[in-house]
Amino acid sequence: MEDTRIWHFEESLWTGDAANYQEKIDDQCVMVLPQPPFVMTGAQSIDAVSDTPRWDSVEFGDQQVMRPKEGLIVIGYHATAQRGDERYEAYCTTTMRRLSHEEWRVVQHQQMVPLAKPVEA
């Protein structure tokens, strides 16, 4: 999967509907999020997203893409998401594996919310 498609895929996980999320998250996925229950399986995260309003928009920065093995993509990035007046920031990682040609699933995702803004020198 080329880089542009990777970022469209990832964006859809933030802004797409529950059906899109369910299609792209593997049941065997492990997620770590900055709110309880903190560590979830793919099935638990799919259930949680079904009852959660989606983000209106998300922007990515500090983007990194690694391909450690054929059929495996690991990305890292800074996300800034917006929903109405609500804003959310996190540093994230996602690991995707290819199931078949053009069919990818997320098998790992983690979000870390910065505790404080870095002090500029």
- At 19, the amino acid letter reads A
Tokens found for residue 18: 């529950």
Mean pLDDT of all residues in 1-8: 93
Over residues 60-117, the pLDDT tens digits come to 999 999 999 999 999 999 999 999 999 999 999 999 999 988 899 999 999 998 776 6
pLDDT at 119: 61
pTM score, whole prediction: 0.87
Over residues 6-46, the pLDDT tens digits come to 999 999 999 998 889 889 999 899 999 888 889 999 888 88
Q: 16 φ, ψ to 5°?
A: -75, 170
pLDDT at 9: 96
